[in-house]
Structure 1
């Protein structure tokens, strides 16, 4: 990949990677750090990665870096950082987007990841498998289960009322 292609990659994919990581970790600072680390890793590997594979490389690198950071923070982190990302319990109807966000937060991490990649970032099953290290069948199962949970969650009267 050339320097021009790298710059084009930054322009085209930085917002998408940032949104994906922010949805996963709920911390602006952590998301910014993870995205920056991912682009640094891409720059280090720039001569080995083709431009058409850069998007997948970035999302995969960012995902794995975020998992590492969250594990380290859970193991060694302080309670204040965890509390910041926990979110507040909201009472009453707050709009469909908020309800979807609340349902998304209740998903297990792997289901949340595949839903974000598929429904929010429009990746194919094959690309999601490459990013997460799962096979396509597992990706499809996790997406099905996540959608079923979210559908059931949205139908609950106590959530909507």
Structure 2
């Protein structure tokens, strides 16, 4: 993940944008919250796939794939 920020800092920076993105796709408050939680779990779990790209697009890509699953 971003070497400059911890997962907590990344959550603080992008949680609102990510929630709005997920809610816009599923139109359900509870489902958006669940997907967001799963997104951050997967982001932590799949740190090896992160290849120093910009963190926000990578995180949104993880969120999109989580939504699809």
TM class by shorter chain equals: 0.7 to 0.9
Distance in 2, matches of 1:34 and 1:58, equals 12
| Alignment gaps of 5+ in structure 2 | none
Q: Which residue of structure 2 lines up, in the alignment, with residue 28 of structure 1? A: 29
Distance in 2, matches of 1:64 and 1:7, equals 21
Q: Which residue of structure 2 lines up, in the alignment, with residue 85 of structure 1? A: none
Work out which of the two has the higher radius of gyration on C-alpha atoms and give 1 or 2.
1
Distance in 1, matches of 2:13 and 2:6, equals 10
Q: How does 1:110-149 map to 2 (within 5 A)?
A: none
Structure with bigger RCO (C-alpha 8 Å, 6+ apart): 2
Distance in 2, matches of 1:35 and 1:55, equals 14
How many pairs were matched up? 67
* RMSD, aligned α-carbons: 2.1
Cα deviation code 1:66-123 (max 9, x no counterpart):
122xxxxxxxxxxxxxxxxxxxxxxxxxxxxxxxxxxxxxxxxxxxxxxxxxxxxxxx
CA drift at 1:64:
1.8
Structure 2 length normalisation: TM-score? 0.77
